[in-house]
Structure 1
Amino acid sequence: MKNKLVTSLLTVSLVSGLVVNTVNAAVIGDDYPAQLKKAAPDTLVDNWTMYNRECVSFVAWRLHAINKFELPIGFGSAVSWGAQARAKGYQVNATPKIGSVAWFAAGHVAWVADVKGDNVVIEEYNYNYNHNYHQRTINKRDVSGYIHFKDLSTNNAVTANTTPKPHTNNTTIKVGTTVKFTGVYQVNMVNSVKNSVASDRLSGGKSTTLNLIDAVPLDETTSSGAKSGNQVLAVGEYFKVNGRYKVLAVDPASNGIKVKIGSYETWLDIRQATVA
């Protein structure tokens, strides 16, 4: 079989295993991952290829953790976010919404935590170039535009990476059962050394090293599941898992099952598996 590879700009997976409590749509506080905020500015690269403790890295994290939206790779400098968002089909206008991105054309982005009439509460990193967390209230007209990737409802609570409830429906899967994974999964983490990837959806939450999957049995696909690309997987790309696998262990409390895919054993979400 032709060896499949992974590629990444990341030096390490930097936002693993963080748990954030359920919150209402309002100021959340500094939930930026400890690995990123404790390191010196611009010394680490996050899962969206942004340097740590920059405004863009914080907003990419917040979109992931709260909005459940994965910022496409390549947004880069905040100066171009408005134009890039429009080019990709996202709405950019003068109307702030909770969970939208406040974009300043001079080169800054922030996350909209609340809207109060003409005032907007924003959370951000690197305000005044100090590379730290900050929150403030501004007039909504002070912003060049609001980018609407995946806004939040003002009436709904939002959750980021909470502990899953025990799975009760798929009782036929147990140790020794042969399963397959038929979904299309997005790459959220790579490990070039082990030639492996992980998907938050397939992991059942934010991926860690326990969820790495050998890339060899995987096919790179489009988001709809059609095989395509150069078969070199990178963060943001999509894949399908080929083959059938015997369940080696089951952890009901976390909805986890252990299987061996290729050369490595890995923990995946039982809800993504079906009996083969």
Structure 2
Amino acid sequence: MDTYDTLEIGVANKIATITLNRPDVRNAFNETAIADLTMAFDEVSQDADVRAIVLAANGPAFCAGADLNWMKKMAGYSHEENEADALRLADMLRTIYFSPKPVVAKVQGDCYAGGMGLVAACDIVVAADGVNFCLSEVKLGLIPATISPYVIKAMGDQASRRYFLTAERFDAREAKRLGMAHEVVPAEELDATVAGIARALVNNSPNAVREAKKLVRDIAGLPIDDVLLADTAGRIAAIRASAEGREGVASFLEKRKPAWLE
């Protein structure tokens, strides 16, 4: 694995852990952090030995959004420079969202602004009880534009409308109720809970996990019509005939472990 200025990366038992490592600035984004995250997710997504990715953070906060020094610099940018800068953040979020590997966010501390975009781009979100979330952009005269596709997918239109407009803080249990988090656990149980989910992901067929992730992304929101029925029928037919599909069924019938667990 490559080394990065703003991240720590480790791989063990087919699980890659990418850890935000700027605790002195509450893991806020700057140009380097955005570039590092984009390259790191691209790297682990292409690693055949990695079957799941955990996004974690060091320090008391998960991510506070944009770094203040970076924001000061952006204040002097032209429209074109600001647009190019925002596109780099958008590309980072897209890289996470479209990773073929399942991504689990381990949210150990407060998550604000762009940090919520990071979390929303992940597939599974586990937060420690007591963590706070906030879409704080309008307090600064800004809007959560770049992160909005992912946050709205996670929270829905109604909740996004409220919290985009008010910039109110809400806690982890409210985040779970809204759909931003899947599980909320005591802080001391966070590591074990995330490890258990990651192990479950690794135990499943890598090809099926990849195709199931794509299935949700492709099908969500589509009308149930003949086109959709043909699409989904084609997908199950293809995966039944795939090597892992055949192996999974055969191992079940023969009461043995499938080859991907050996």
With the length of structure 1 as denominator, give the TM-score of the two structures. Answer: 0.28
Structure number with higher relative contact order (C-alpha < 8 Å, ≥ 6 residues apart): 1
**Which structure has greater helix proportion?**
2
**Which structure has greater strand proportion?**
1
